[in-house]
Amino acid sequence: PVSRAGHLLDDLNPAQRRAVEHAGSPLLVVAGAGSGKTRVLTRRIAYLLAERDVHPGEIMAITFTNKAAAEMKERVADMVGARARSMWVSTFHSMCVRVMRREAKTLGMSSNFSIYDSDDTRRLITLVARDLDLDPKKYPARTLAVHISNLKNELIDPETATAQATNDLERRVAEVYTVYQRRLGESNSLDFDDLIMRTVELLQTFPDVAEHYRRRFRHVLVDEYQDTNHAQYTLVRELVGKAGGEIPPAELCVVGDADQSIYAFRGATIRNIVEFERDYPDATTILLEQNYRSTQNILTAANAVISRNPNRRDKTLWSDLGEGEKIVGYVADNEHDEAAFVANEIDRLVDGGEVNNSEIAVFYRTNNQSRVFEEIFIRLGLPYRVVGGVRFYERREVRDALAYLRTLANPDDTVSLRRILNVPKRGIGERAEACVSAYAERERISFAAALRDLDRVPMLNPRSRNAIAGFVEMMDELGEMVAREDDVADILEAVLEKTGYRSELEASEDPQDHTRIENLNELVTVAREFTELELPEGAEPVPSLPAFLERVSLVADADSIPDAESDGVVTLMTIHTAKGLEYPVVFSTGWEDGVFPHMRALGDPAELAEERRLAYVGITRAQRRLYLSRALVRSAWGQPSANPASRFLGEIPQDLLDWRRVEPSRSAPAAATTWGRSASGGIASRGLTRPAPSKTGWKDAPAMKLEVGDRVTHDKYGLGRVVAVDGAGLRATATIDFGGSGTVRLMLIGSVPMTKL
């Protein structure tokens, strides 16, 4: 056969080629954004198959999203054909589900376990905390969930957490963690973090299981390695195995960029990349320096920003795509003005034939910023799609329907069962539920088992007893369809009919309920399509219900990103979600201190460094055109606040920027309109008369000097006391407690309608 190596290596630079050809020792490819890391990883897989006679079944590759996994698989298949199909290419979570389904029995679980997402987790933690009599104000479920998740990401089990606890909060967390973990077990369920932690436990506790996987996977490849947390890191180590064992370690290839580590809040640690060489002493490191994605102006801006971060390895990243356009800057009056600018600019670019909608992305720091863009895009008839936000699978009716399916697949799934016990209403009240729950807890049996043991549940009145018996009977009937392995779409239809869920919505006058019916129909369609999916060659058919539920629970934000070629829509998403992607035109919005960088980061160097990496990620998604905008005033959560420019904007060399509009001079009534509130108390955001933009105005406006404790009087807000001051010069702001008018953060430049007392 003709060697295909030439074909596979042709369009790579020498460093990339070395990474693809490298054999034997662990390989670390570290490089800045857009330097072809993902391309190298994909190409390396193709090369292993085509040139090194590796069997596809020996390859495990890990990506950050399911969508990225699907694309990688497809690309490899394009290069080497259909046999690429038996590789494992997936996210950490999907990979662990696969392992756990096979090995559940070893850990004393049954393989039909449910996967709890963050909402289920919070529900269960709420139940546990209530049973432990914890004050929900002092220990909100959300907080407890974060702490428990952090422990799991560090592979700390409940016993260790209990032993290590040194203060009241930690002791409480450990207590909740212990009971929560037990309840998960009783529900035959795993939460997201468990998927990783329990897989690690499995591999560490059962050497023969570990050996099985080590024998099978001779090549382990990880993309976006900088965002692995300790648990994932350990998982990789366990899969690869150690030198000196019976089986030589698998070949490991990881690619990443320490400057793009943006998931510290999920326990990701750059340590994993920085200390790779120490952890794998015989490792080879390859650096890539040429960026193939962006023009030089965009890269220079990105490099300038990220270079402000302390303790980083400096990299040189260059592009031969030419300087390109300048980066466009825009200072808006408020978020509506910002959105209008973005929309108009998109219109102009598309009308001019330069790009089409699908080549354009709009980024923001947090999901709640999407609404304003949606409003104006709808008004202008500009087709768009929001990635993330309130997702389809988070809608109430969809969750209810899925809870039925999950209960049918795994009757021990208590969270799902209790969710639908009285939905739609069937006369099983909270008191009855509590009786059953107490009985189950006392007997240490599952809630489902207790429902079947009604005669022995104390204090149930006859009405509830009947209602519960009717419910159990209905679920048994539906359960027969599951036992027969009927199509999931048919089961779902039967659920919606038999439970009366659909007819209740149909009878309702509330227009929202009609949307709910549409969503449920959409879910049936998804299920139908799933049933009709063609099985990959060689794959064993699995009953469609569990497979469907698994697919649904692992859907992540990034998986709904529209395909570049298709759709013809503008994509809106958070910067976090944009990781790894690229677009010819990028609008990055909300460059304001307190928004981006996030408020939380202003006084915290570690958080600030993380935000700066986020800025780096955002900038480097752009290929040809980049727009950076900010608003002078932004209303978040109903409160208008005046935001100074993001410090990151100031870190970009100003000669790279083309300011379409700058901050108006503050000597005019600008400040008054900026602070102005409409009669209803909201910000007067539309119809502002704004002074003519001045190119220099904002640069020479003097700052007002204030200190913490100073008393002031403001034309609109009245008397107040300064509680914090931030930033200096043009970026100086003060947070002022105006008593009845609330606490407001104000910029101190120009003629602030305020006097120091």
- Residue 36 interacting with Mg ion (CB under 5 A): no
- To the query of whether residue 38 is one of the catalytic residues in this protein, the response is yes
- Residue 114 interacting with Mg ion (CB under 5 A): no
Q: Which of residues 567-596 bind ligand ATP (CB under 6 A)?
A: 580, 582
Q: 């389904």: which residue's tokens?
A: 101
Catalytic residue among 58, 175, 223, 345: 223
Q: Among 25, 51, 154, 292, which residue interacts with ligand ATP (rule: CB under 6 A)?
A: 292
Consult the annotation and say whether 756 binds a ligand: no
Q: Among 39, 365, 516, 731, which residue interacts with ligand ATP (rule: CB under 6 A)?
A: 39
Alpha-helical regions (H) of 156-251: 158-164, 168-186, 192-205, 207-216, 230-240
CA distance 589 to 595: 10
- Residue 11 interacting with ligand ATP (CB under 6 A): yes
Q: Among 16, 35, 38, 91, which residue interacts with Mg ion (rule: CB under 5 A)?
A: 38
- Residue 580 interacting with Mg ion (CB under 5 A): yes
Query: By CB under 6 A, how many residues form the interface with ligand ATP?
Result: 18
Consult the annotation and say whether 38 binds a ligand: yes
Give the residue with the Cβ less far from ligand ATP, 516 or 576. 576
**Of 235, 217, 224, residue with least CA distance to 93:** 235
Give the residue with the Cβ less far from ligand ATP, 164 or 285. 285
Consult the annotation and say whether 258 binds a ligand: no
Alpha-helical regions (H) of 31-117: 37-51, 66-80, 92-103
Question: Can you name the residues that pair with 714 across neighbouring β-strands?
Answer: 718, 754
Q: What, of Mg ion, ligand ATP, none, does residue 275 touch, CB below 5 to 8 Å by kind?
A: none
- Residue 35 interacting with ligand ATP (CB under 6 A): yes
Consult the annotation and say whether 269 binds a ligand: no
Characterize the bridge pairing of strands 27-31 and 251-256. Answer: parallel
Binding mask 386-425 for ligand ATP (x = CB under 6 A): ----------------------------------------
Give the residue with the Cβ less far from Mg ion, 38 or 66. 38
Consult the annotation and say whether 35 binds a ligand: yes
Binding mask 210-249 for ligand ATP (x = CB under 6 A): ----------------------------------------
| Phi, psi values for residue 390, rounded to 5° | -75, 110
CA distance 369 to 636: 8
- Residue 494 interacting with ligand ATP (CB under 6 A): no
- Triad 19, 20, 24: Cα angle to 5°: 75
CA distance 9 to 28: 19
Tally the residues of the chain.
757
Give the residue with the Cβ less far from ligand ATP, 149 or 620. 620
Give the residue with the Cβ less far from ligand ATP, 14 or 541. 14
CA distance 317 to 694: 35
Catalytic residue among 16, 17, 37, 516: 37
- To the query of whether residue 223 is one of the catalytic residues in this protein, the response is yes
Using the rule CB under 5 A, give the single segment among 65-73, 487-495, 578-586, 688-696 that binds Mg ion: 578-586
| Amino acid in position 73 | K
- To the query of whether residue 550 is one of the catalytic residues in this protein, the response is no
628-667 core/surface letters (b: 16 or more CB in 10 A; e: else):
bbbbbbbbbeeebbbbbbbbbbeebeeebbebebbbbbbe
Query: By CB under 5 A, how many residues form the interface with Mg ion?
Result: 3
**Of 328, 362, 311, residue with least CA distance to 610:** 311
Catalytic residue among 38, 63, 126, 226: 38
Residue 256 CB coordination number (10 Å): 23
Consult the annotation and say whether 33 binds a ligand: yes
CA distance 204 to 218: 18
- To the query of whether residue 138 is one of the catalytic residues in this protein, the response is no
528 DSSP assignment: H
| Phi, psi values for residue 81, rounded to 5° | 95, -175
The sign of the dihedral angle between the CA atoms of 389, 395, 396, 399 is negative
- To the query of whether residue 260 is one of the catalytic residues in this protein, the response is yes
Please check whether residue 8 is in contact with residue 44, taking contact to mean a CB–CB distance below 8 angstroms: no
Known binding residues are 31-38
Known binding residues for ATP are 31-38
Under the rule (CB under 6 A), what is the footprint of ligand ATP? 11-13, 16, 31, 33-39, 257, 260, 292-293, 580, 582
Active-site residue list:
37-38, 223-224, 260, 621
